[in-house]
Chain A
Amino acid sequence: MLSDSRTTPAILARDLTKVYRLYQRPAYRLLDLLGLCPDDAQHFSRHAALSDVNIEIERGQKVAIIGRNGAGKSTLLKLIAGVIRPTSGSIVVHGRISNLLQLGTGFHPEFTGRQNVYASLAHQGIAGREADRAFDDVLAFAEIEEYIDQPMKTYSTGMCSRLMFSSTVVLNPEILIVDEILGVGDAYFSHKSFEKMRALTSQQHTTLLLVTHDIYSAMNLCDRFVWIDFGRIKFDGEARTAVAMYEASIKEQEERALRQRTAAGVSEKADVETTRPMHVLIRSRTGFALPKPLAIESISLVGVDGAASTLIAADASTDWHLLPEGSVGREEIVDGRRCRVLQTHGSIYHKAEWVIALPSAFTPIAAGVSWNYTGAEPAELAVFSHARHVLVRGELSAGSGWQARTFQATTAGREELSTPAQTEYGTGTVRIVGVQMLDAAGQETTRVKHGDPLTLRVHLHMHGERLAPRQITFVLGITRQNTPYAVNVVNHHLDLPATGDDCVLDVRLATVELGSGTWYVRVGVAEAGLFERPTIKYFAVDAEWHHLMREGIPLEVLSIGHLDAAGCFMVHPATFTVHQIEPSSVAKDQAAAVADE
């Protein structure tokens, strides 16, 4: 029986689907219950909150469920918790579930905290002496003794969440479902809750399902991420990949919203009946800034019958509308030609994008570009419709001087424009060109002995003296996979040289006090005072970051033998001295004591 419960998954869902019927009037719901409601759009529409979801969660797994609002996360949790039933498919759950799906359910505002805890315990099947014992544990964990006999309505949201969380976890549930509740408590309690959940999963083999928008905190707790979008699982797997994909989609959403606004402006002026908007995009393929500026002289779209629409980039009067959120500079002259330049800095959207209202009959079959670029990694050209179907695609590679090329329409057809997962974050206004790790002798290294000094040499490039800020926030973070940062070194106001485009910054750690093993070093530069302001943005769309490395540089810390962190993060510098006590002096003291008596 015991071995059986270890091998069977805690949660097993097969083709799980939940369709809600949205009735035009409440009365139709009753008619439908009696089987009398006609099945048409006038009476109700169907909304598939979850479609064909297959998921298997092992006992003791820590799973974060992410996705935007209305994606179906809560529906999935409610199905698992048995709060609602699936329309089709099956769900099998092994183990006692406790959930924190909504704050305040079952808590009566006029009751005292004490009475509410007893009521909540009774609902979970605990009464009598057992409840008294559980109550003591709840109180000890929640730490709100002085308010426990006050009515719940006088509690702050944070105190409510403390009490609810405590009365749920104290019963050591086999499956714990938490929906975004932990953001409510203060930093101390939220940390305590995290530790409690970590302890439950490791010691009691509790299965944890956490719905959250704070993906970075979830990374510290959960080893598996399930990303739900439009009621389907978009990604299910390792945390880092999930976060990278999720961030790309967040950026895409923001960009789409901006694009929508400009396109609306274009179609307002144009005749909606006879024209349709077409997008022309030049961007980097890494999601981060191009290594060098890219100059654009002209772009022209060619239709089937030879019709053409051409942009002379430097001309101000044109019916090609440049989207404002990209990083395109003013008109200038490069190698003797008038052009506009896609800059390496200035926006989180490293792109140049235009919208044109083309006649409906005009379908581009080719696009000609004249450009000048010397960067190592090629840029990308895409011509796509408003529905993001790519018509023409091309690669703008590096070369000497001006180049011109015509790209033919893609035969693939209905390929959708995607946003690349980012390798780096930020606007690129200040760019981390390179990071070196230097040992005591100033030699580049990837391994360091415990207790030795380590210097990080960071090469920074600032784009233009006028543009670049001369004061930044500098962040150095050292982490292990799937753990919180062990070390964060933040300088909120670091002054950079007043002139020049490049500088070298040495960050010297006097002694490395990390435990032995592989660590990852990440470096970031942001606007000065970033962490002193409250912010809730994802890195991918936070324009206050100049440059943040997504991947860390591996650093091997070697143990010096007798001193180690034994699984913990840090080894505090310590010296050990053993003093021997002379046996003769002990005997003498005893003898003296006896003589005194």
Chain B
Amino acid sequence: MAELSLSRRALTGVLEQVRLVAADIVRCRRILSTLTGIECRQKYAGSVLGTLWYPLYSLLLLGSYCFIYLVVFRMKYKEFSTYSYVLFIFSGLVPYLGFSESVTSSLNSVRSNLAILRNSVFPIELVPVKHVLAAFVPLLCSLAVLLAMIAPTSHAGSHLLYLPIPLVCLFLVSLTVAWIVSGIAVVLPDVAQLVNVGLLLFMFISPIGYTVDMVPPRARPLVYFNPMTYLIEPFRYALLGVRNTPLWTDAIILGVAAMLACAAAALFNQMTPVFFDYE
């Protein structure tokens, strides 16, 4: 009985924290959007082209990949043409880079801005949100380039309308990780090193450059246990109409992502008082 009431209390605690965070987001939505804009401009502040670098960077990044795969390596795999294979890689790579950018940019966001944050009306828990939002700008740019590449091919179709679903999933998961690592990084700056290595490792064990059936059967559980697989596959489906995981997993991943984001928000809010002793 005692345990039950304890877990119920924990649940109401979490819900209360989530309500507070949600209220802050609604209350500060204008400031949040202003500061996200500032954050976006800050990335290329001091450069001559400024924010023009967002589409330019996406073009250059994907262009150089195209050059390597189409001209240098001339990669080809089974049912895919070389061009289709490149599109296949991109539809996994682009969301992964978006996730990676969200996590790295929010990693030190709280730690390095504690002095201003404590003294502004801008709630501290919205700082990682701001960074994730800003990191989604280059992601959307790259997606736009990718869509332009897909449009003339046979891969274009009504499945493109499905794109918001994987985007929401990715946003929620990025936010979850951003809240957790930026909070921990205040207390334990060393986490930054782990996160960077972890992101690189995840890139290799996630089905970005390969499909699940390319993986030797013994290693397949690794792919299926990798949560990143379930984030990338919906993108594949939305962009190219192909997928290796069943559609119902998307519903689960969306639900799990939402729950994780709530838990991370609650955790971050719980940690906030500790930040006060760090400078």
Residue ranges of A at the interface with B (Cβ–Cβ < 8 Å):
29-30, 33, 81-85, 97, 99, 101-102, 105-106, 108, 110-111, 115, 118-119, 122-125, 127-128, 131, 151
Contacts and interface: CB of A to CB of B under 8 A. Distances in A.
A125 B121 contact: yes
Contacts of A97: 119
Given A83-B115, A83-B119, A123-B120, A128 B30 contact: yes
B122 interface: yes
Interface of B is mostly: helix
B38 interface: yes
Given A30-B188, A83-B115, A119 B35 contact: yes
Contact of B122 (A83, A108, A111, A123): A123
19 contacts: A82-B118, A82-B119, A84-B276, A84-B277, A99-B119, A101-B119, A106-B113, A106-B120, A111-B45, A115-B45, A122-B31, A122-B34, A122-B38, A124-B120, A125-B31, A125-B120, A127-B30, A128-B34, A151-B46
A111 B42 contact: yes
Ranked 3 nearest A-B pairs via Cβ: A110-B46, A110-B45, A123-B120
Nearest to B29: A127
Contacts of B116: 105-106, 123
Contact of B118 (A83, A118, A124, A125): A83
A118 B45 CA distance: 15
B45 A108 contact: yes
B38 A118 contact: yes
B274 interface: yes
A108 B276 contact: no
Contacts of A124: 120-121
B217 interface: no
B155 interface: no
A122 to B, nearest CB: 5
Interface in B18-70: 30-31, 34-35, 38, 41-42, 45-46
Contacts of B276: 83-85
A229 B276 CA distance: 24
Nearest to B47: A110
Interface in B77-122: 113, 115-116, 118-122
Most buried by B among A105, A122, A127: A122
A119 B38 contact: yes
Interface in B208-267: none
Given A85-B273, A123-B121, 4 more contacts: A84-B276, A101-B119, A118-B34, A119-B35
Contacts of A122: 31, 34-35, 38, 122
B187 interface: yes
B46 A30 contact: no
A85 B277 contact: yes
Contacts of B121: 123-125
Given A115-B41, A122-B35, A33 B119 contact: no
